[in-house]
Chain A
């Protein structure tokens, strides 16, 4: 049997739960068709999460799941421009024409969908984005120069979670775009995702006993993000999220992490999110999103 899982029309972190629920409902023996033909937009979070789903499904059945390309040519072109299909073709049997593109000089895609497996990949990511992010962060978002310097740090720490904790590879993507309806501002969004072991399993050997009955995906996310707990016992560990949080505090940015059946977010006044959600549909690995908003409102 082939089960159909629809990609949300507008696939971002909020629409993700519908996708995860649909995926979790598919019997393990079924082959999956991930249907993106009606998709009109996808955030970097949506794109890297799709890749996580693809890898998890391929590992589960040994066969590549199917993926339909968005029917709208502009949407398909945008997905191609993000580098999504270059990664997806390894994981999915793709159906539909994949546009051939050349990256334009000016683009809202600050960093194409990029695989992160080893520390050297993190170097490449930071190196590639540093100059481009300077123009966007200070030019378009109106942030001070310091925001640019710290941006590479936050990006690096986010990516290192994959290298240090996932037990497998993952992806990162960074886009700048307008959150006109949600915030009335331009934002830079970093999305980092992997289909690995997730926070609960990574921290379980050192933390589960401490939490007792409370232990689960939500507790693991709290331990990592709020308390700076690491699976490594050395005192210098667990500083990555502390550094990211400090950076986001300075620039009114937001972090959210989805792992297993829980999602945690450090919310802002401008946001309507909730701090912690548990009992969600299971999804492999961890998916992290950082949002850095512009200083000024966008002209309407």
Chain B
């Protein structure tokens, strides 16, 4: 199940209904707590889309608390082995810069959909991971053999790259296939 969370609305509920800006670390903490509370109430959610479309200013401290700390604090897997996947949507160029910067500092990676609809990885990722991820997104799914053939990689390298993407919660595994998060 996908949960789409309007971050501006969480800001409104958690801090102040008149704020448009995600600024300050304490605001970030409050918004993250709001998101975490929502996810606790909905344990069946597997993909969480954080929608920044209505956010005007996002500073580094708030980005660190809302995005990076949320990723760090989310359990790698639930008791039954299910993973929670995160992606961010509705970013402008400046939001994307802030989030990219804080993720790199933590060695994290996240799928982002910018306001024009373009998708990309933010944060720390190798060229192999970025290439493999782009292929999964472009084709709507991938298996190691097809990816290896497309990119002229050894099959083991293709499988390793795809498994790395799964480990970083950037694609999902469905039996032999690897799927983009938006396929959930």
Listed in ascending order, the chain A residues whose CB lies under 8 Å from chain B are: 119-120, 122-123, 126-127, 130, 146, 149-150, 152-153, 156-157, 160, 163-164, 235-236, 239-240, 242-243, 246
Contact = CB atoms under 8 A, between A and B. Distances in A.
A295 to B, nearest CB: 18
B60 A126 contact: no
Contact of A122 (B16, B24, B69, B94): B24
19 contacts: A119-B27, A122-B23, A123-B15, A127-B18, A127-B21, A130-B21, A146-B94, A150-B94, A152-B21, A152-B56, A152-B59, A153-B57, A153-B58, A156-B21, A160-B23, A235-B106, A236-B64, A239-B61, A246-B101
A236 B71 CA distance: 12
5 closest A-B pairs by beta carbon, nearest first, are A152-B57, A243-B60, A156-B23, A119-B24, A236-B64
A156 B24 contact: yes
B19 A127 contact: yes
Nearest to B72: A236
Interface string B54-85: 00111111001100110000000000000000
Contact of A242 (B26, B69, B101): B101
A164 B92 CA distance: 27
Contact of A130 (B16, B24, B57): B57
B105 interface: yes
B93 interface: yes
Contact of B61 (A130, A150, A160): A160
Contacts of B53: none
Among A120, A156, A160, A163, find the residue whose CB has the most chain B CB atoms closer than 10 A. Answer: A156
A163 B24 contact: yes
B56 A130 contact: yes
Contact of A149 (B25, B64, B94): B94
**Secondary structure of the A contact surface, majority rule:** helix
Interface of B: 15-16, 18-21, 23-27, 56-61, 64-65, 68-69, 92-94, 97-98, 101-102, 105-106
A254 B145 CA distance: 52
Give the one of B15, B57, B58 with max A CB within 10 A.
B57
Contacts of B21: 123, 126-127, 130, 152, 156
Contacts of B23: 122-123, 126, 152-153, 156, 160
Nearest to A158: B59
Given A123-B19, A157-B60, A246-B101, A236 B26 contact: no
A148 to B, nearest CB: 9
B180 to A, nearest CB: 27
Most chain-A Cβ atoms within 10 A of its Cβ — which of B15, B60, B98? B60
B56 A156 contact: no
A36 B69 CA distance: 48
Contacts of A126: 21, 23, 57
A201 B69 CA distance: 28
Contacts of A127: 18-21
A126 B68 CA distance: 23
B94 A243 contact: no
Given A152-B57, A160-B61, A246-B101, A236 B24 contact: no
